[in-house]
A and B are shown apart, each in its own frame.
Chain A
């Protein structure tokens, strides 16, 4: 393919998408393995796994939308909405188990009052735990993070399809870029975070720089890989 102004725009879109994924991971409230035993606040799984689950659901929605239109905005919006639906359905069903099976009041150990509801948190934190369940602030933060992840995934996928006209190749490449940025962000927060109210959230510039460097390299590879693999 020719290296022209469109190529630079495609690369910029991939880079912005990668950065959105990297920052979006910081919003997703994951407590890791302790959260699965109601020992920590958030969703009881790994950061990358949950971010990938939601972001790639958004990628499926965006891929479907892009098969019928090449208008950027509906593709980005439907990617974000698909990711938000997956994340919220996950957090909601997880909430049922915390509330009705494990039997634990939701509490964050990182703030004294929930920034969204204004409810006090420390009286509800059981000793020997760092909070439990998914308080409202975490749910809202997770929804924002999923929207950013889905938006980022769609924004990576969109230029890739325009470059190589091959949805399958673009999807696999978008999944790869998504994973790289999600893993870098996960290292930055050391595996667990409660959301935008967590003090760890202030570390996001570190992930921003790392994701910028890695995504620039991947964007260059993405625009060069088409002639190598013989894309249309």
Chain B
């Protein structure tokens, strides 16, 4: 273990936290992932809306694409043109943001045009100012993840044997999976249905009845980003940050050659702690919200 390696792992954890948060907010602004089923449904059940709609790919594959695009451009600039790493990664992330902009715009037009029969309009003002917000967040995600991959390959010892684009692809897939599993719940379960009864799951009867009015005026996707940046985004960031930090911390503190068993045992310890923490969360949620008041079965709570 050396102080420089620990500093690098800490920096990777911080970058991962930022990229996780920006990934989730990007998917919330674009309404990309699972909760978009409700946005799609809303117009069909008579609730046309002004929410952006770019769900033409799941979060993990799309983020893997963007991060790989950034990493390929950065890799080429570093290896073939000997550019400074920071410039190369920034240029790669800019390319990834452009790819995302093309995909988002075509997705918005395609999705909403197909719902014209349900009186769903295409709002050009939404396209103008929401697409750039999405691209900005994708830039942050791609930049942070390519930097993590760069640190793993060129700086942190032992150097990772995979090339830059492969590591960016894997971390992109992982951050998408975490954003899709964590941040989506805050957007779908909380923000889209703010007037449902608190303390229980969402009744299927409410499907498509999303909130369409904002704190002032009609709700758009920037309002959703404002809300989800308070809890869903940071939680996603923590999830991805924990993954990157804990996984690399154990192989930095313990030498993988001579102390492999200690590195593995430390990983198992982290897993056990997280299992116990989830048990505590379940216990506190059951105590706080209690059984459903209208329950008529004969099983004691």
Contacts and interface: CB of A to CB of B under 8 A. Distances in A.
A108 B107 CA distance: 36
Given A38-B189, A63-B161, A129-B204, A90 B286 contact: no
Interface string A188-210: 00000000000000000000000
A168 B162 CA distance: 5
Contact of B190 (A65, A78, A101): A101
A124 B204 contact: no
A37 B188 contact: yes
Interface string A121-157: 0111111110111111001100100000000000000
B58 interface: yes
B217 interface: no
A127 B294 contact: yes
Interface residues of A, number: 83
A93 B241 CA distance: 11
Interface string B162-199: 11001101110110111011111111111011000011
A95 B238 CA distance: 12
A45 to B, nearest CB: 4
Interface string B258-277: 00110110011011001101
A171 interface: yes
B38 to A, nearest CB: 7
Contact of B35 (A37, A59, A99, A131): A37
B267 A60 contact: no
Interface residues of B, number: 92
Interface in A24-50: 32-39, 43-46, 49-50
Contacts of B185: 35-36, 38, 44, 94, 97-98, 101-102
Interface in A57-85: 57, 59-61, 63-69, 71, 74, 77-78, 81-82, 84-85
Contacts of B261: 74
Contacts of B282: 95, 99, 105-106, 117, 133-136
B257 interface: yes
A89 interface: yes
B178 to A, nearest CB: 5
| Chain A facing B: main interface SS | helix
B161 A124 contact: no
Given A43-B181, A49-B176, A120-B300, A69 B256 contact: yes
Nearest to A121: B299
A136 B279 CA distance: 6
Contacts of A126: 200-203, 292
Contact of A123 (B37, B190, B299): B299
Nearest to A131: B201
Interface of B: 33-35, 37-38, 58-61, 158-163, 166-167, 169-171, 173-174, 176-178, 180-190, 192-193, 198-207, 231-232, 235-236, 238-240, 242-243, 246-247, 250-251, 256-257, 260-261, 263-264, 267-268, 270-271, 274-275, 277-279, 281-282, 284-286, 288-292, 294-295, 297, 299-301
Given A78-B267, A101-B190, 13 more contacts: A37-B202, A38-B202, A52-B60, A63-B160, A65-B251, A74-B260, A85-B247, A88-B275, A90-B239, A96-B235, A99-B288, A104-B285, A129-B200
The 8 closest A-B pairs by CB, nearest first: A53-B177, A128-B203, A81-B267, A132-B201, A123-B291, A93-B239, A36-B34, A126-B200
